[in-house]
Amino acid sequence: MNRPETATEGWHCPAERTLDFLSGKWRPMVIFWLMEGPLRFNELRRRLGTITHRTLSRTLKEMEADRLVKRRDYGEIPPRVDYSLTHRGRSLKPVLQAMEDWAQTQAERNRGELQ
C-alpha cells in the first residue's frame, strides 16, 4: 500500500477516502442493490429490509452529494423517481467484491476452527 509522505486534506491513508465513501451501515448495501440497475425508492427500501424511510432518504441524498448515486425524476404524476449508480459508484464494485471475498474466507476459517 502506498503511503503519502505527508497527510493532505486531512487524509492519512489512501484507504481512508474509500472507507469514507462506504461508511455507515447502509451505503454498501445500497451500492450492492443498485449494481443490478436502477431502482425506485420503495423497491430499494423493500430490498434493504429494516431501513426506515427517513434513513434511506438521508443516505441517498448523501450518496448523491458524493456523486455515487444519481436520482432521476421523470416529472410525471404520480411522481416517478429512480436511483442508479454513477460511474463513480460502479467503480466501488471491486472494493465490495474484495470485502465479500474476505468475509467468506473468514467465515470458512471460523468454521474450521470450531470443528
The span from the CA of 84 to the CA of 90, in Å, is: 9
Measured CA distances, 18 to 43, 51, 61, 93 (Å): 27, 23, 18, 12
pTM reported for the whole predicted model: 0.77
Q: How confident is the model at residue 8 (pLDDT cuts 50, 70, 90)?
A: low
The span from the CA of 63 to the CA of 71, in Å, is: 10
When pLDDT is averaged across residues 29-45 and rounded to a whole number, the result is 95
Q: What cell numbers appear for 59 in the block?
A: 443516505
The pLDDT value recorded for residue 115 is 53
Give the best-scoring range by mean pLDDT among 5-19, 40-54, 92-106: 40-54
Pick the CATH number of 14-114 from 1.10.10.10, 3.40.50.880, 3.40.50.300, 3.40.50.150: 1.10.10.10
Angle at 45 between CA 33 and CA 56, to 5 degrees: 95
Residue 46: name the closest of 27, 70, 30 by CA.
30
Write down the domain spans for the chain.
14-114
The answer for residues whose C-beta is within 8 angstroms of residue 103's C-beta and 6 or more apart is: none
DSSP class of residue 1 equals -
The pLDDT value recorded for residue 114 is 57
pLDDT in tens, 59-111: 999 999 999 999 999 999 888 999 999 999 999 999 989 988 999 998 888 87
39, β-bridge pairs:
83
pLDDT at residue 49 tops 70: yes
